């Protein structure tokens, strides 16, 4: 791997992929939207080109001369009154990048899916790369769009393009400039949100570890294979307690019945559709996380040599980064 394109390279996870590649001496080109902020790449020696993955010509120009493509550009939002743009970016945009890579004869492409593009395990079991998607009963556009785009990427693999798929868990850590819906979980927990939780769980990974899995997938992975990049399965209570410890703001938490949380989320969704403002509690995420989310990272450890840092370190680094930028009050 000598020259790589990273779509979404100015973003949270994408910028760490860029940094990891540069540490290995790989020349990097970043495709960024015309008005996209580049704060996360300050001081990083990478070529920046402006364009849009929804424009095929921009994708063709971006992949030219690259032997490897990391496709991370996607629309990740907890709530959208109209999810059509999410489907266009995550599906049509993915097709444009894959097709440009195929036509250019790119040696390999690493596609960023998500654990929400896989299936959740049955109670008491652990999911992995082979667990089939099953969230058909939920109207969860982000999950549905990532499942469909993963299927699309794997169709290209079946047609002969060397595609490796990485499925990160909920990504946390320093550099969440957006912030993403994942980062907002930390910000809300430390900014006066009610000290309550309900049944539910998530699977979490440090952004730096997830970035390394992407690079290792390109270096050591196999064509057509999926690799889960996650490390910490926590229920909602344990997650909020960990944030409190890391942020120096431990609180006594109170459990509320799930039906109460669901009713609150529904009411917030109705109000949000009237006001156009994102609700404090996204119903889609709440409903999806109500089912256990336990995932094995054994394949990434065994085949790629991935490493994962302690969860408390991830939270401390994320919180310090938010505080340094005035996004979160100091304890």
Question: pLDDT tens digits, residue range 245-259?
Answer: 999 999 999 999 999
Domain extent listing, the chain: 3-174+203-232+294-314
CB-based contact 296:236 (threshold 8 Å): no
Render each residue's pLDDT in the chain as its tens digit; 331 residues: 999 999 999 999 999 999 999 999 999 999 999 999 999 999 999 999 999 999 999 999 999 999 999 999 999 988 888 999 999 999 999 999 999 999 999 999 999 999 999 999 998 999 999 999 999 999 899 999 999 999 999 999 999 999 999 999 999 999 999 899 999 999 999 998 899 999 999 999 999 999 999 999 999 999 999 999 999 999 999 999 999 999 999 999 999 999 999 999 999 989 988 888 888 888 888 999 898 889 999 999 999 999 999 999 999 999 999 999 999 887 6
Q: Which of these, 225, 220, 240, lies nearest to 129 by C-alpha position? A: 225
pTM value?
0.96
Q: Which of these, 79, 154, 82, 159, lies nearest to 113 by C-alpha position? A: 154
HSE-CB of 202 using CA atoms within 13 angstroms: 21
Write down the CATH number for the domain with range 3-174+203-232+294-314.
3.40.50.720
Question: How do residues 105-124 score in pLDDT, each as one tens digit?
Answer: 999 999 999 999 999 999 89
Could you list the active site residues?
A: 142
pLDDT at 85: 96
């Amino acid at each position: 791997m000598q020259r790589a394109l990273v779509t979404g390279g100015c973003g949270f996870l994408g910028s760490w992929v860029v940094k990891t590649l540069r540490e290995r001496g790989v020349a990097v080109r970043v495709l960024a939207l015309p008005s996209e902020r580049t704060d996360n790449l300050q001081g990083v020696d990478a070529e920046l080109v402006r364009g849009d993955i929804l424009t095929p010509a921009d994708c063709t120009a971006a992949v030219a001369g690259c032997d490897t493509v990391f496709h991370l550009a996607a629309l990740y939002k907890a709530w959208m009154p109209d999810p059509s743009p999410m489907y266009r970016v995550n599906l049509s945009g993915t097709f444009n990048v894959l097709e440009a890579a195929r036509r250019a004869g790119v040696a390999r492409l690493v596609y960023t899916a998500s654990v929400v593009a896989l299936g959740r395990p049955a109670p008491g079991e652990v999911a992995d790369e082979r667990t089939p998607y099953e969230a058909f009963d939920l109207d969860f556009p982000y999950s549905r769009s990532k499942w469909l785009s993963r299927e699309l990427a794997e169709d290209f693999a079946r047609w002969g393009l060397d595609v490796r798929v990485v499925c990160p868990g909920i990504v946390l850590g320093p550099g969440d400039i957006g912030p993403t819906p994942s980062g907002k979980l930390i910000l809300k927990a430390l900014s006066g949100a009610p000290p309550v939780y309900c049944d539910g769980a998530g699977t979490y990974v440090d952004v730096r570890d997830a970035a390394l899995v992407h690079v290792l997938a390109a270096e050591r992975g196999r064509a057509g294979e999926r690799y889960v990049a996650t490390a910490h399965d926590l229920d909602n209570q344990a997650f909020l307690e960990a944030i409190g410890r890391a942020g120096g703001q431990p609180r006594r938490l109170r459990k509320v019945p799930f039906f109460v949380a669901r009713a609150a989320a529904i009411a917030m969704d109705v109000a949000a559709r009237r006001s156009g403002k994102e609700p404090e509690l996204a119903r889609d995420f709440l409903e999806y996380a109500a089912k256990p989310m336990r995932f094995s990272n054994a394949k990434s450890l065994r085949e790629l040599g991935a490493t994962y840092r302690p969860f408390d370190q991830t939270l401390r680094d994320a919180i310090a980064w938010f505080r340094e930028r005035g996004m979160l009050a100091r304890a």
